[in-house]
Amino acid sequence: MRKLTYFIACSIDGFIGGPDGDASFMYRFVDQEFIEFLKAEYPETMATQGRRALGLDDLPNKRFDTVVQGRASYDLALKEGITSPYAHLREYVASRTLDPSPDPNVEIIASDLVGRVRALKAEESPLGIYLCGGSAVAGELIDEVDELVIKTYPVLLGTGMPMFTTGFDVSDFVPDADAVRVFGNGVVVRTYNRKR
């Protein structure tokens, strides 16, 4: 069974964006040290356009071969005229309103998101599934998330879009003590695995 990994950026107080979902204020923390980390550890989490701009098109996928994201996250790319933001992965977008898909590389999941993700997890592959966001999709898939990789940026928002939009439900995860990285700009990346 392959893992579903929620690889997400958030503020110290756990928000992945402002009340409107805007997370552009976090881009200032993506410096050369952080890019080198992504290149070495999570190259497929960089969008295709970003990889191309950095001359990294040839980087092989290391951890994931599939990405699942919500409509709001996907809309950020569409607003820039990009219909396949992760062309180096199999792309799925959870949306009840987007039909048909604007790109042949992007499959729309219009219903039974949990069932579709369970089917993806059951596939034979050495690589996992990258849950890109946003909070509503993560909330719907919370029981399917096997791993959290949280990039915490040194800012407080006070309010905004939470990591998960869901009702109160305790889910236990354990930290991977060997997978904590602190960067010179104050960013901390931590990995947690679902407690079984």
Distance, CA of 115 to CA of 119 (rounded, Å): 6
pLDDT digits (tens, 9 = 90+) for 32-55: 999 999 999 999 999 999 999 999
Confidence of residue 124 (pLDDT cuts 50, 70, 90): very high
Per-residue confidence (pLDDT) for residue 193, from 0 to 100: 96
Domain of 88, CATH number, reads 3.40.430.10
pLDDT digits (tens, 9 = 90+) for 56-106: 988 999 999 999 999 988 998 999 999 999 999 999 999 999 989 999 999
Per-residue confidence (pLDDT) for residue 196, from 0 to 100: 83
Per-residue confidence (pLDDT) for residue 150, from 0 to 100: 97
pLDDT digits (tens, 9 = 90+) for 159-180: 999 999 987 788 899 999 888 9
Average of per-residue pLDDT values in the chain: 94
User: What residues make up the domain containing 179?
Assistant: 4-194
- Decide if pLDDT at 151 tops 80: yes
Span 27-35, mean pLDDT?
A: 93
The proportion of the chain whose per-residue pLDDT surpasses 70, expressed as a percent, equals: 100
Per-residue confidence (pLDDT) for residue 108, from 0 to 100: 97
**Number of independent structural domains in the chain:** 1
